Amino acid sequence: MPDMKDMSEETFDVMELAEYAKKQKWWKRVFSKDSGPIADKYSVATQLAIGGVTGWCAGYLFQKVGKLAASAVGGGFLLLQIANHTGYVKVDWKRVERDVDKAKKQLKLNTKKPPKEIRTKVEEVQTFVKKNIVLTGGFAGGFLIGLAS
Note the pTM of the prediction, 2 decimals. Answer: 0.54
Q: Residues 66-78: pLDDT tens digits? A: 999 999 999 998 9
The DSSP letter of residue 32 is S
Q: What are phi and psi of 33, to 5 degrees?
A: -60, -40
Do 62 and 143 touch, CB atoms closer than 8 A?
yes
Containing 148, the helix (H) or strand (E) segment is: helix 133-148
- DSSP for 45-91, please give it: HHHHHHHHHHHHHHHHHHHHHHHHHHHHHHHHHHHHHHHHHHTS---
Q: Digits of tens for pLDDT over the chain (149 positions)?
A: 555 555 556 666 666 666 766 666 666 656 665 555 555 667 788 888 888 999 999 999 999 999 999 999 999 989 988 988 898 888 888 999 999 999 888 877 766 677 778 788 888 888 888 888 888 889 999 999 998 88
Q: Residues 78-88: pLDDT tens digits? A: 998 898 889 88
CA distances from 2 to 11, 12, 13, 14 (A): 15, 17, 20, 23
How many CA atoms are closer than 13 Å to the CA of 100, on its beta-carbon side? 6
